[in-house]
């Protein structure tokens, strides 16, 4: 099963979930705040939110 990255707009957290590809389009609930404002991140969006070395964000 692939690992999919998600972002919660309500609590501003990112998390990853192992899902079957057929499950990846279903509505997801945030494991931190149980909010419904969750969206799957693209690979580019995930890179933008991931801090670089020592917490410094990569320049784009």
CATH of the domain at 37: 2.20.28
Q: Which residues 6+ apart lie within 8 Å of 53 measured at CB?
A: none
Query: Into how many domains does the chain fold?
Result: 1
Query: CB–CB of 20/52 below 8 Å?
Result: no
The reply to whether 21 falls in a domain is: yes
Q: Which long-range contacts (CB under 8 A, 24 or more apart) does 54-60 make?
A: none
Question: What is the residue range of 11's domain?
Answer: 3-48
* Predicted local distance difference test score (pLDDT) of residue 14: 92
The reply to whether 57 falls in a domain is: no
The reply to whether 25 falls in a domain is: yes
* Predicted local distance difference test score (pLDDT) of residue 26: 87
The reply to whether 55 falls in a domain is: no
Full pLDDT tens readout for the chain, 60 residues: 889 999 999 999 999 999 998 888 888 899 999 999 999 987 655 555 555 555 555 454
* Three-state SS at 13: strand
Look up residue 30 and give its two tokens.
Answer: 């945030």
With 0.75 as the threshold, say if the pTM is over it.
no
């Amino acid at each position: 099963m692939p690992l999919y990255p998600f972002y919660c707009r309500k609590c501003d957290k990112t998390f990853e979930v192992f899902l079957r590809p057929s499950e990846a389009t279903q509505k997801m609930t945030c494991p931190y705040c149980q909010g419904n404002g969750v969206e799957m991140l693209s690979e580019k969006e995930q890179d933008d939110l991931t801090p670089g070395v020592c917490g410094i964000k990569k320049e784009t």
